Structures are given as structure tokens and as C-alpha cells.
């Protein structure tokens, strides 16, 4: 799609050095550095040529223990009817990324869900709590190095069944 190239070019002019150019050319996504993410987010939401007014999906990804974590954003423009995927890599140890909760209000819960599952801290998020899991849950379940605990609050996991194994 042309839109990826377009966004990439516009960002390169506005925020030089922020787009990580891919090793081999592709049109699926844009990889960017996390530092100025919030300003970039504000920019692509309001820029008249881009107008990504809807934050569709925020996906946390663990690509394996060596490769590290990644956050992938899917944006969509209801006015110009185009969409884009933006990827931001974060380190495994103490991962953090600027929050865009104040840019798109829909990102609030989506970011909380990523935090819940991967432990990625969103800097500037005003209400960063666990979303789906209980508040006293330990660990980040969707990371590849997560080990299922044997006991949760005194309850045994998994349950032992009679007449089976």
C-alpha cells in the first residue's frame, strides 16, 4: 500500500531519524523509535493528510526470549479511510513506552490490557492497573518466560481430578 510509504516520508520530514528503515523493502508496517512516540501520535492524529482518528488495536507481542517485546498499533482513519500499522520495539528488562492514552481515549483500556499481559509500562498513563487479571496476580502471563504458578492464593493449580491420571 502507498499509505505506509507516505506516512513514513511525512514522519521522516517532521521527526528526522525516527523511522527505522527496514532491511528489505516491504509495505506492511512502519517501525519507529519509542522516544518521541507521543508527539508523533498527536501529529498523525491531527495532520490533515493522515488523520488517523481511530485507534483500532494495540497488540503486545513477545517474539521469543532472545528477540524481546514489541507493541504494535493499528490505526484507522474514518475520514480518509486508510489504515496503518506501527511497531515499536521495547526491551525485555524494565520495558516502558510513552502512553498515547491522552491522544486517543480508546487507547486507555487497550494499553492497560497490554500492561496486564506483558508488563510493559506506559509512561504517562493515568490509570495503569491490571485489566483482566486480578489485582494480586503475579507475573506477566503472555511473556514467553512466564511460568505457571503452582499455587494461587492457597488454591492449587491445576486441579487434581479423581479417576484421571
The rounded distance, in Å, linking the Cα atoms of 120 and 114 is: 7
When the beta carbons of 13 and 147 are compared against another protein, the nearer one is 147
- Contact indicator for 115, 58 with CB cutoff of 8 Å: no
CB 29 → another protein: shortest distance, Å?
A: 8
Least Cβ distance, residue 108 to another protein (angstroms): 6
Strands (DSSP E) contained in 19-154 are: 19-20, 30-32, 54-62, 69-76, 83-90, 96-98, 121-123, 151-152
Shortest Å, Cβ 105 to another protein? 5
68 vs 106, beta carbon nearer another protein? 106
Q: Name the minimum Å distance from CB 162 to another protein.
A: 5
Cβ atoms 30, 21 nearer than 8 A: no
Minimum CB distance to another protein smaller for 15 or for 142: 142
Least spacing, CB of residue 54 vs another protein, in Å: 5
List residues binding another protein (CB under 8 A). 28, 53-57, 59, 61-63, 72, 74, 78, 81, 85, 104-106, 108-110, 117, 130-134, 141-142, 161-165
**Nearest Cα to Cα of residue 129 among 114, 144, 141, 142:** 114
20 or 57: CB nearest another protein: 57
CA dist 89 and 81 (Å) reads: 27
Tell me the three cell numbers of residue 85: 500499522
Q: Is the dihedral of CA 97, 104, 64, 157 positive or negative?
A: positive
Nearer to another protein, 56 or 96 (CB): 56
Amino acid at each position: 500500500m502507498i499509505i505506509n510509504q507516505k506516512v513514513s516520508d511525512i514522519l521522516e520530514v517532521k521527526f528526522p531519524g525516527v523511522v527505522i528503515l527496514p532491511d528489505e523493502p516491504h509495505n506492511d508496517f512502519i517501525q519507529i523509535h519509542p522516544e518521541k512516540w507521543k508527539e508523533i501520535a498527536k501529529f498523525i492524529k491531527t495532520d490533515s493528510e493522515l488523520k488517523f482518528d481511530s485507534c483500532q488495536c494495540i497488540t503486545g507481542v513477545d517474539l521469543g526470549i532472545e528477540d524481546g517485546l514489541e507493541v504494535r498499533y493499528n490505526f484507522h482513519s474514518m475520514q480518509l479511510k486508510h489504515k496503518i500499522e506501527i511497531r515499536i520495539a521495547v526491551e525485555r528488562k524494565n520495558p516502558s513506552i510513552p502512553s498515547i492514552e491522552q491522544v486517543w481515549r480508546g487507547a486507555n483500556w487497550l494499553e492497560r490490557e497490554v500492561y496486564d499481559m506483558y508488563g510493559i509500562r506506559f509512561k504517562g498513563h493515568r490509570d495503569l492497573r491490571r485489566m483482566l487479571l486480578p489485582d494480586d496476580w503475579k507475573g506477566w502471563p503472555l511473556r514467553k518466560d512466564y511460568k505457571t504458578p503452582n499455587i494461587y492464593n492457597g488454591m492449587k493449580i491445576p486441579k487434581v481430578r479423581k479417576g484421571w491420571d
